């Protein structure tokens, strides 16, 4: 059998999963409603919300789940990572649509270039 030195305990797994989920939901909502006082704006606000849930919440949890080992956890890892990637592409679509609505160009900042790299890699 493979060494289990990197396998998290059940308690550690639950705690980290709770932290990732909470941060993804709360942090994503917080980022989606900035700057302060502006509130929720569609489609723009979906961009930070979906990206944070996708990359941090789901893909982070998928990575940790894979470390548990076993067939079922490996399958769950794949489902979670796929859902995270899907939500991240939803975030890309939201910002793309927002740029179109505002008549602005696409992929013109370092933030945009790095975001595309994160989605592709």
User: Residue 54: what pLDDT?
Assistant: 97
Rounded to two decimals, what is the model's pTM? 0.88
Whether 55 and 89 have beta carbons less than 8 Å apart is answered as no
- Give the model confidence (pLDDT) of 70-120 as tens digits: 999 999 999 999 999 999 999 999 999 999 999 999 999 999 999 999 999
DSSP string, 37-101: TT---TTTTHHHHHHHIIIIIIIHHHHHHHHT-SHHHHHHHHHHHHHHHHHHHHHHHHHHHHHHH
Length of the chain: 121
Can you tell me whether residue 2 is helix, strand or coil? coil
Question: Which of residues 4 and 36 earns the better pLDDT score?
Answer: 36
Confidence bin at 4 (pLDDT 50/70/90):
low
Neighbouring residues of 110: CB distance < 8 A, sequence distance ≥ 6: none
User: Residue 118: what pLDDT?
Assistant: 92
- Give the model confidence (pLDDT) of 43-69 as tens digits: 999 999 999 999 999 999 999 999 999
């Amino acid at each position: 059998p493979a060494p289990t030195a990197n396998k998290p305990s059940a308690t550690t797994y639950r705690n980290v999963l709770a932290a990732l989920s909470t941060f993804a939901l709360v942090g994503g909502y917080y980022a989606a409603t900035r700057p302060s006082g502006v509130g929720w704006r569609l489609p723009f606000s979906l961009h930070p919300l979906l990206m944070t849930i996708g990359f941090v919440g789901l893909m982070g949890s998928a990575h940790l789940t894979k470390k548990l080992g076993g067939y079922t956890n490996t399958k769950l890892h794949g489902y979670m990572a796929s859902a995270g990637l899907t939500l991240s592409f939803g975030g890309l679509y939201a910002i793309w649509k927002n740029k179109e609505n505002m008549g602005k160009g696409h992929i013109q900042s370092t933030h945009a270039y790095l975001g595309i790299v994160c989605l592709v890699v």
